[in-house]
Amino acid sequence: MRNQILNKLRKYGPREFVVRGYQRFRRLAGQRDRYNSNFDKRYNIDTGMVVPVDELAFGDRQAQGHAKEHNPSPPYAVMAALKALDKYMGGFGASGFVDFGCGAGRAMIIAAEAGFQNIIGIELSRKLIGICKENIATYAKTNKAAKFVVLEQDAATYVPEKGSDVFFFYVPFSRDVYKKAIANIALSLEKNPRTVYLLDSAWSNMDIEVRDSKYEYIGQMEGINLYKLSATA
């Protein structure tokens, strides 16, 4: 990357280099804004709502104490991160996608668009589960290949099964729950050794749990951190 920048600087000169860089930034910003603003319209779904904690309608009041306000993940950023991961992995193949705290289903639908065919959402808010299932039912009319499962379950108790290899978080709950979820992923690898990947918002400040779990940092794309963890038999 550094060599590419230096080569372009020599080729165009400082002034032209800056102008071209600014123009590229404007193009990308426009693409990002259009993708984000048109996402729900494209599939006739509603995933963009913000839901305060006291409106999440948890069946488990104790678990609700660990929840955070539901804020939807940015579509362009999630898709960019998944495309980068797809390139890194050499294709998703039969890998399954799990969204911890799936909310209204936005990241699940983006995962389907990125090429995943087995997609699981973990959610404990009954209100969001209802919205998520409606959105998935609408989207599924245009994508018959993707299989969706939405589980009403505490993320702290979910242990991924074999075949679930890519895990997505978008700051849906407290650090205590996050830590238990990371531990359960490690437990899954003990039972079924394989390589898994984790995507998490770069501003979540929860990456210390990932580092402590011996994940390898792959990189960052559009504010989404990518990690890798391998376990062999």
Determine the 3-state secondary structure of 16 from DSSP. helix
For the domain with range 53-230, which CATH number is right: 1.10.10.10, 3.30.499.10, 3.40.50.150, 3.10.129.10? 3.40.50.150
Determine the 3-state secondary structure of 93 from DSSP. coil
Does the pLDDT value for residue 74 go beyond 70?
Answer: yes
**pLDDT at position 25, please?**
46
Centre a 10 Å sphere on the Cβ of residue 110 and count the other Cβ atoms it contains. Answer: 25
Give the pLDDT confidence of 116-127 residue by residue, as tens digits: 999 999 999 999
**pLDDT at position 177, please?**
87
Does the pLDDT value for residue 211 go beyond 80?
Answer: no
State the residue for tokens 């165009």.
12
Give the pLDDT confidence of 135-181 residue by residue, as tens digits: 999 999 999 999 999 999 999 999 999 999 999 998 778 888 888 99
Does the pLDDT value for residue 20 go beyond 80?
Answer: no
Higher pLDDT among residues 95 and 8, named by residue: 95
Phi, psi of 72 (to 5 degrees): -70, 145
**pLDDT at position 198, please?**
94
Determine the 3-state secondary structure of 100 from DSSP. strand
Does the pLDDT value for residue 28 go beyond 60?
Answer: no
Q: Are the CB atoms for 161 and 189 separated by under 8 Å? A: no
Q: Where in the chain is the domain with CATH 3.40.50.150?
A: 53-230
Can you tell me the distance from the alpha carbon of 208 to that of 211, in angstroms, rounded to the nearest whole number?
5
